[in-house]
Amino acid sequence: MATTKFLLSLLLLVQLAATAYSIGVNYGTLGDNLPPPAKVADFIKTQTNIDAVKIFDTNPDIIKAFANTNISLTITIPNGDIPKLIKLRTAPRWVVDHVKPFYPASKIKYIAMGNEVLHWGDDALKSNLVPAMKTLHNALVREGIKDVKVSTPHSLGIMLSSDPPSMGRFRPEVIPILTQMLRFCRQTKSPFMVNPYPYFGWSPEKESYALFRPNNGAHDKFTGKFYTNMFDGLMDAVYSAAKAIGFGDVNLIAAETGWPSACEFPVCSVQNAVDYNGHLIKHIESGRGTPLMPNRKFETYIFALFNENQKPGPAAEKNFGLFKPDMTPVYNAGVMRNQQGGATPGPTMQIPTRPSTPAGPTTPAAPKRGKKGKPAGPAKSTTPATPATPASGGKKP
């Protein structure tokens, strides 16, 4: 009896340890030198602690490759396919074609209805977004699939303000859509996905705050909360914005975040990337949550799994990967299995030794959104972002 009890509590402990956190990664495929999906799935399962993978399409080879790995998947419906999914007949067909052949062997957990539609989509696409999410959800339920949730990631371009975090608010023009969406999320117990990139909020003064290095922090005078890193600040800004329109209870997911290890500016470096991602992973593992969401765990998906040599745009675009295409680490961010001591970010008490003079012609302002929702590298001017292409770091340029 005592032994059974002991074994039970041991089992519980093991389970707690196993479910303490979830490290996800975005598996983008814009490279002509990437390994085949089966190799990637095997590598992630056997060599890393990554237990969740997000892809930017519904590639059946990738979905199949993750069958029986127990790695959860987020698959993404291309933005252009959204309008046809509002049709009552198309959505069930879509489920039959893209989910049923793979599920549940492939642990599809979320279906993203497009990517950053409110940032990149035209008005027609934006207005189709929530109806398409509802139609797809209903189609899933009708097929008896109840634990695949429908969501959609947002760039922080949806934010009117993010600083201080408690004053985080959505842009007025997206509030009607976000209200419907958050109501849908609440009703279907689906998460609200955002892509917080402290990289976009980088400035020489904010570097340590953005990279989880020792810094003076930021005090939110409205709540008395103290922030030691920009990631928490951005997540709390989103939380505050959702709460301000009545949805503080909806779970958040950081669907994309990361830092490039190389580009033509000093903001990108292996040291910066390892500091950001390494400390981020430790932060997530700690289960601490954020100042406004203490002990609330949100799944976090690092961008990205691989450096992708065919990503359009500036060099930074191609260098967000944790791994090179040959699956060797670009740096040790703490995702490898069986490594001692987890992440090995740089010494946290040290002043960065890199020259602080930026390589750009002027002091780079916060990096701005580039094409496809990825960083365009530090802006060369300090022109404030227009509402159409807002800087999404949450700090004003």
Closer of 45 and 186 to ligand NAG (Cβ): 45
Is 264 among the residues known to form the active site?
Answer: no
Site track for ligand NAG across 221-260, x = CB under 6 A: ----------------------------------------
Least distance CB 388 / ligand NAG (angstroms): 39
Closer of 68 and 356 to ligand NAG (Cβ): 68
Least distance CB 38 / ligand NAG (angstroms): 19
Site track for ligand NAG across 94-123, x = CB under 6 A: ------------------------------
Closer of 107 and 395 to ligand NAG (Cβ): 107
Q: Which of 116, 207, 308, 317 is catalytic?
A: 116
Residues near ligand NAG (CB under 6 A), total: 3
Which one of residues 8, 10, 19, 97 is an interface residue with ligand NAG (CB under 6 A)? 19
Least distance CB 109 / ligand NAG (angstroms): 9
Is 256 among the residues known to form the active site?
Answer: yes
The 3-state secondary structure of the chain reads: CHHHHHHHHHHHHHHHHHCCCCEEEEECCCCCCCCCHHHHHHHHHHHECCCEEEECCCCHHHHHHCCCCCCEEEEEECHHHHHHHCCCCHHHHHHHHHCCCCCCCCCEEEEEECCCHHHHCCHHHHHHHHHHHHHHHHHHHHCCCCCCEEECEEEHHHEEECCCHHHCEECHHHHHHHHHHHHHHHHHCCCEEEECCHHHHCCCCCHHHHCCCCCCCEEECCCCEEECCHHHHHHHHHHHHHHHCCCCCCCEEEEEECCCCCCCCCCCCHHHHHHHHHHHHHHHHHCCECCCCECCCCCEEEECCECCCCCCCCHHHHHCCCECCCCCECCCCCCECCCCCCCCCCCCCCCCCCCCCCCCCCCCCCCCECHHHCECCCCCCCCCCCCCCCCCCCCCC
Closer of 21 and 94 to ligand NAG (Cβ): 21
Q: Which of 143, 205, 256, 285 is catalytic?
A: 256
Least distance CB 71 / ligand NAG (angstroms): 8
Return the residues of window 45-84 that contact ligand NAG according to CB under 6 A. 51, 70
* Residues forming the active site: 116, 256
Binding site for ligand NAG (CB under 6 A): 19, 51, 70
